[in-house]
Amino acid sequence: MKKLLLLILTAVFAVSLFSQELLLESENVITTIKIDAAIGPIAIKQIKDAIKRSEKLNAEALIIQLNTPGGGLEATWDIVQLILASNVPVVVYVSPPGARAASAGVFITYAAHIAAMAPQTNIGSAHPVGMGGSQIDSTMGEKVTNDAVAKIKTLANKRGRNINWAEEAVRKSVSVTEFEAQDSLIINYIALDLDSLIAQINQDTVDLITGPCIINTENPKIIFMKSGFSNSILEIISDPNVAYILMAIGMLGIYFELSTPGAILPGVIGGISLILALFSFQALPINFAGVLLLIIAMIMFLLEIKIASHGILGGGGVIALLLGSMMLVNDAEFPYKGISLSVIIPTVIVFSAFFFLAAYLSLKAHKRKVATGDAGLVGEKGVSKTAIGPGGGKVFVHGEHWSAKSESPIEPNQKIRVEAVEGMELKVSKLDE
């Protein structure tokens, strides 16, 4: 009975999927995805997944709703290659109103089979930048700029767009509005909304790698593609600020576990945080000089606890931690999304305060009087239980009864002080009131 029920459910599920595929095949499918962030590894994955799904659905077009301040050059070239190799027409739509396609966004827009913009949007400012948005040195800057110019001129020639403006956008960082872009043949359409764009591109012919393709958008079935759960998690933890915080938590957790073996919880939290941080760093352009400085900072903090350097090692650790944090993400490839100072400074302060406090407590513990063993008994006070003299007697010290002797006579029930420990016998003296 259970097998029969399972077969029926499987059949129903298969028929449901088959009917959905038939329904989609009978309609003009338009897929769309939103890219509303700096161009980086996450955007690559989103666009790659969107193109694959669009090809599987045999979509008439994939519309990328773009709003970006720019991003890494390598990530930009990867996305351009994905669009050029797509078997589905790719439409880049700079939207919503107020959005922009700056820097990397210009190359992505030029690579698209069809380019459109919403009202009150702009496009341009594609000049390559260096660390933190600064200018690259003249020789390297000229090489990078010439390479970018060659790429965008190739795209402009292939898509029939304005070549001269494209070169100026890279060399001089010029930017234009949607109306100027349409008049200058930078884009194909100005669309008030997604429905307006879909209506305008109907029956347009584009060149795919497989040959000419006519887009049919009559009675379209629009599929809004969202990031999956894994992409959403990756997008959150790949934020440099989140990755940096995870790394800090991981370092603290591992330190606690090593300093107090058996605590378990700090080690578990620290290990998980470090793994997530390393996973995040895989999706970010990490500067290894920054990583090295962070490792040196941790070593200095640990040595400060073990060695009395009077704060020299701790101070060096603070400087290394601050510099390493600021250099951790390579801004040359990720200029719009580095680690914020509002995250770095509190983290450095917390780390510094913690390790200096740990160093202070460690130093204080080293100076504290020994409380165990023979040395721990010297100086302790107690009470004589019997008469004590050179021949010996009994005393009560540290919660224990001991055999004791004294150079001068001591009466019973007198307060005494331990002067020395000789084997299993104490040498005591009478404690003056």
pLDDT surpassing 70 at residue 373:
no
CATH architecture of the domain with range 24-227: Alpha-Beta Complex (3.90)
Task: Name the least confident of 211-215, 285-289, 308-312.
Answer: 308-312
Contacts of residue 117, defined as CB under 8 A and 6 or more positions apart, other chains included, come to: 93, 94, 95, 101, 123, 178, 181, 182, 187, 189, 190, 191
pLDDT at residue 315 in the model: 80
- The type of residue at 377 is L
Side-chain-side CA neighbours of residue 409 (13 Å): 2
More confident call, 67 vs 378: 67
More confident residue, 271 or 111: 111
Least confident of 17-21, 82-86, 318-322, 330-334: 17-21
pTM for the whole structure: 0.65
Query: Of 126-140, 195-209, 412-426, where does the model show the most confidence?
Result: 195-209
In degrees and rounded to multiples of 5, residue 270 shows phi and psi of: -65, -40
Burial class from Cβ neighbours inside 10 Å (0-12, 13-18, 19+) for residue 357 reads exposed
Q: Under CATH, to which class is 373-430 assigned?
A: mainly beta
The arithmetic mean of pLDDT across residues 307-336, rounded, is: 74
Cα separation, 101 vs 122, in Å, equals 7
Q: In the chain, where are the structural domains located?
A: 24-227, 231-367, 373-430
142-161, pLDDT tens digit by residue? 888 899 999 999 999 999 99
pLDDT for the residue 171: 92
Is 92 within 8 Å of 109 (Cβ atoms)? yes
pLDDT at residue 261 greater than cutoff 80: no
Asked if 28 and 218 touch (Cβ cutoff 8 Å), the reply is: yes
For residue 21, pLDDT over 50 is answered with no
Q: 29 pLDDT exceeds 70?
A: yes
| pLDDT greater than 90 at residue 340 | no
Q: What is the pLDDT of residue 157?
A: 95
Residue 58's identity, in one-letter code, is N
Task: Give 344's pLDDT tier (boundaries 50, 70, 90).
Answer: confident
Does an H or E element contain 393, and which? strand 393-397
Summarize the confidence of residues 194-200 as an average pLDDT: 96
User: Taking Cα atoms as reference points, which of 23, 11, 16, 86 lies closest to residue 55?
Assistant: 86
% residues pLDDT > 90 (the chain)? 36
CA–CA gap between residue 214 and residue 301 (Å, rounded): 65
